[in-house]
Amino acid sequence: MKKINTIVFVAMLSLLTIPNTASADGFFSWLFDFSRTKGVEPVSNENYQEECGACHFAYQPGLLTGDAWANLMQVDKLEDHFGENAELDDEEVRTELLAYLKEQAAENSYYKRSRQITHSLNGEEIPERITDVRYIRRQHHEIPESLITDNEDVRSLSYCDTCHTKAALGIYDDDTVNIPNHGVWDD
C-alpha cells in the first residue's frame, strides 16, 4: 500500500512540475471541479468577449494552442482576419488579449477537450484556424456536407454556436447539438 501511495504522490508531483501546464492552484481546482471533464474553459475576459465577440462567436482560448493564438493576433493577421479587418485600435488591448489567449490556450488547460486538442497536434503543428485542428475535424467527420456548407443557417464549421447550443459555456458534447434545418444530432 505504501508503494501505491508513493507512486500516486510522485505522479501528482510530476504533473505540477511539467512545463507548459497549468499552475498548482489550477491543478487542484481542476481536480475538484468536475465540470472540466467536458468541453473547454469558458471565456472569462470581458475585453476579449467584447472585441472578438462583436464580430463572431468568441472562441474559447482552449480551442487553439498559444502559438496559434500568437499567430492570429499578429498586427498584419488582424488587418486581414479571414478576409475582414479586425485591427484593434489600442496596442495595449491587443497585448492584453494575446496574453489572455496564450495563458488560457489548449496546452495550458486541464479541460478535457483542450487536452484532446493539444494531443491531436503533433507538437509542431500550428493551425491557422480552429477548423484546421485535427481533433475538431475528426469530431465532425461523420456530419454530411449537406448539413454544414449546403445549410444556409450553418454555412461552415466555424460557426460553433450555431449547432452547439451550449458552446458559450464551453460545452461541445453531442447531446447539446441541434443542427438548424435538421434537428438534434444523433450519430
Q: Up-side HSE of residue 117: CA atoms within 13 Å toward CB?
A: 31
| Distance from C-alpha of 10 to C-alpha of 60, rounded to nearest angstrom | 32
Average pLDDT over residues 65-82: 95
Q: What tens digit of pLDDT does each residue of 17-43 get?
A: 544 444 555 555 555 555 556 789 999
Partner residues linked to 179 by β-bridges? 183
**pLDDT at residue number 185:** 79
**pLDDT at residue number 125:** 85
**pLDDT at residue number 116:** 94
Distances (CA, A) of 67 to 91, 93, 99, 157: 19, 18, 11, 22
pTM score, whole prediction: 0.79
pLDDT of 127 over the 60 cut? yes
C-alpha cell belonging to residue 158: 466555424
pLDDT of 115 over the 70 cut? yes
Q: Of 143, 142, 135, which is closest to residue 111 (Cα–Cα)?
A: 135
**pLDDT at residue number 9:** 61
Is residue 115 within 8 Å of residue 109, measured between CB atoms?
yes
pLDDT-derived band of residue 12, with 50, 70 and 90 as boundaries?
low
Higher pLDDT, 163 or 124: 163
**pLDDT at residue number 122:** 81
Q: Cell 481533433 appears where?
A: 135
Q: What tens digit of pLDDT does each residue of 80-100 get?
A: 999 999 999 899 999 999 999
Percent of the chain with pLDDT over 90: 71
Q: Of 71, 60, 72, 75, which is closest to residue 108 (Cα–Cα)?
A: 60
C-alpha cell belonging to residue 4: 501505491
Q: What is 27-44 written as a DSSP string?
A: HHHHHT-GGGGSS-PPP-
- 108 Cβ contact partners less than 8 Å away, ≥ 6 residues apart: 20, 21, 22, 66, 102
